[in-house]
Structure 1
Amino acid sequence: MNNLLKKITIGIGAVLCLLSLSEPAMATRIKDMAAIQGVRSNQLTGYGLVVGLNGTGDKNNILFTRQSLTNMLKKMNLHFNKNQIKVKNVAAVMATANIPPFARIGDRIDITVSSLGDATSLKGGTLLMMPMKGVNGNVYAIAQGAVSLAIPAGVNDRSSHLLTARIINGATVEREIPFRLEGKEQLTLSLFRPDFTTARRVGDTINAALGEGIAKIIDAGSIRLNVPESMQQEHVAEFIADVEGLSVVPDTVAKVVINEKTGTVVIGSEVTISNVAVAHGDLNVTIQGQNPQYIMELPGTSTIGELVNGLNSLGVQPRDLISILESIKAAGALQASLEIL
C-alpha cells in the first residue's frame, strides 16, 4: 500500500496539469486586488482612412470609403464626384484605444485599427489624421501614423491576420478626462473579486496600519476610505499609495476547474474531500476505509491534491480522473464547486 501511495511521475496518454495550492496563501498587495472607484481607463473610437496600400484596399463597391475620400479631398479644395474616384490603395478603418486615468495633454497612447470594408490587407498603410472620440462625443485624442501588422517571422502573409493592425504611440491626447483628488474626503476601494471575508481582511488591515475608522466595509466588493483630514488637500495621492502598499491574504472559494479537452485539472487550496468510495473500471478508491481490496486509501478530509497525485501515481488517464472527480462531487464528498470547461 505504501508503495502505491508514493508520488511517482508516470507518463500518461494526455497532458495532465495539476496545480494544487496546498501551501498557505501568500499575502497580496491591495493594489493588485482592488482599485479606487473612478480611477480607470476610458474607451475611445474613431473612423478614418488608411492609404498607401499596394492594391489591397477596399473595392469600388464600398461606397463609404469613396465618400470619405471625396470629403477629405474637398477639404483640400480638390473637388471630385465620388463616382469618379476609383482607387485600390485606400481602406476605411475603425480605430480603438484606451485612454488611461490622469492622461495629460500631449501624452501618447497606442491604437488598434481594423478594416471596415473588403480590403485584403492593411500591410504597408498609413492612417491619416483622425479624431478619437469618447462615448460622450467629445474628441480626446488625434491619431495618425504608419500601421504595423507585427507578422511573426517566417509566417506567410496570406495565412496571417492582415485586417487588424497596431500603431504604437499612434494617438496624441488632446483633452484630459477630469478627475481631481484634491479635497476628497472619502474614496471607495473596489475589489476585483468581491468577497465578504476578503473585504473584511482589507478593512482590518487598513485600520490597523493607518488608524481606526479609516476603512469601513460597504459590501463584498466595496470598502469606503475616510481620508485623514491632514491629507485631504494636497496628500490624497500619498494616502492612496499608503493603502495600495499594504498586503492582505485574500480568501478563496474552494473550486476545482477541469478542462475536458486538454485533461487539465486546477485545484484551489481550500478543496477537501470527505468519506467516499469510488469504483471506476478496474480501479477502486476509498477515502477513510479499511477494506484491503481497495487499491488506494486516503484519510477522510484529505486534500483533493493528495487524491489526484495518488491516482496519477497509479497511471490513471486524465479522462478517467475527470470522471472520478465528477462522481465524487455528485456523491457530495467533494467540498468544492466543480467547473467544467
Structure 2
Amino acid sequence: MNALEPSAPPAAIRLTSLSHGGGCGCKIAPGVLSEILKNSSNLPGFNLPPQLLVGIETADDAAVYLLNDEQALIATTDFFMPIVDDPYDFGRIAATNAISDVYAMGGTPIMALGLVGMPINVLPLETIGAILRGGQDVCRDAGIPIAGGHTIDSVEPIYGLVVLGLVHPSRVKKNSGAKAGDVLILGKPLGVGILSAALKKEMLPPAGYARMIEVTTQLNKPGIALAALDGVHALTDITGFGLAGHSLELARGAKVQISLDWSLMPLIAGVRELAAQGCITGASGRNWQSYGTEVTLPGAFAEADKALLSDPQTSGGLLVSCSPDAAAQVLEIFHAQGFAEAAIVGEVREGSGVSVY
C-alpha cells in the first residue's frame, strides 16, 4: 500500500468477545454462592439492627432498612459483563436490570451510583461513553439521577449500578411472603439467555435481537402499583438463576411449594427452537447442577424446556404471588403498563421445592 493512502479503519471490537460470560449469566452458580456465604456471613455475636427489615436471610432482591414510620430505604447493586455488542444497548440493559430489584421489593427508585470497570487500553473512549449514556437514559426513564459512582481499569468491561429506593414499611414485598393457595403471575416471557447464546454463535436474526433488547430494557415499574395491593403477598424478579432458581428462593423463604404450569409459560418467540439447536448458556447447566434435585419435572419433559427453566434471565420479569381474587387486578396493572405477555403461570401449594406440571 502506498504510504500516502489512508489505512482502513480498525474493525469494531465485539464487546461480548471481551467477556467470559455475559449479563446475568455471569452470576456465580447458586450452589457455589451458598457455600461461599456459609463462610462469610455476619460475624458470630454481631447483633443485626432491628431497623434492618430485609437482609440476606432468604436471598431476597434487596436490603431494606427502616427509616421512620412512613419510609424504608431499599438498597441494591447489580453489574455484569456485556451480553450484547452494541455499547449503548449494553448500558441500557445493565441499568434496567439493576433498577429492577427496587421494583421487586415494591419500592420507588430515588437515585443511582454508577459502577464502571473498563479495559481502557482496549476500548475506544467513545464506546465507553456510549455504555454510560445508555445507563443514563434508562435512569432518566425511571426518574432518577446517577449521582456518582466509581470507575476502575479492568480486564473485562463491567457496568452496573447501585440503586436506592423508598417504600412504605407496610408495603415491603419480601420473597418469603408467598402463601399456599396463591396464584403465580410472571410479567415477562422467558428466553433471554437463549437469545444471548444465539447472538454469540451468530445465529440470532435481527428480529430476535430487537425482541431481546425490547424485553431486557423494559423497566419493571408495575412493582410500585403491585406493592399497594393487599392481595399481593410476594414479589421477586427472575434473573441469573433462572425461573426455577428464583422460584426456589420463593419456596424456601415462604416454606411452600412453587408449582409451575409449563403449558401457560410465556416464552419469547423462537427460543425453544434455538435451544433445541444448542443455543444454551453455560450458566443454565450450572444452575441446574446447583438446584436440580429440588425441582420435580413431568415425564418426557423436553431438554429444550429444561434449559428454558434454568435459563439465566438478564433483566427478567417480576414473579408475583397473590391471592386468587387479586389476580385479575395484577394482570390489569401489567397489561396497562405495556407488559402484554404477563400471564398466570402456576400456583403456590403446601410443601417444598419447585414442581413443574
Larger C-alpha radius of gyration, 1 or 2?
A: 1
Q: Greater relative contact order: 1 or 2 (C-alpha under 8 angstroms, separation 6 or more)?
A: 2
TM range (shorter): under 0.3
Q: TM-score, normalised by structure 1?
A: 0.23
Higher share of residues assigned helix: 2
More strand by share: 1
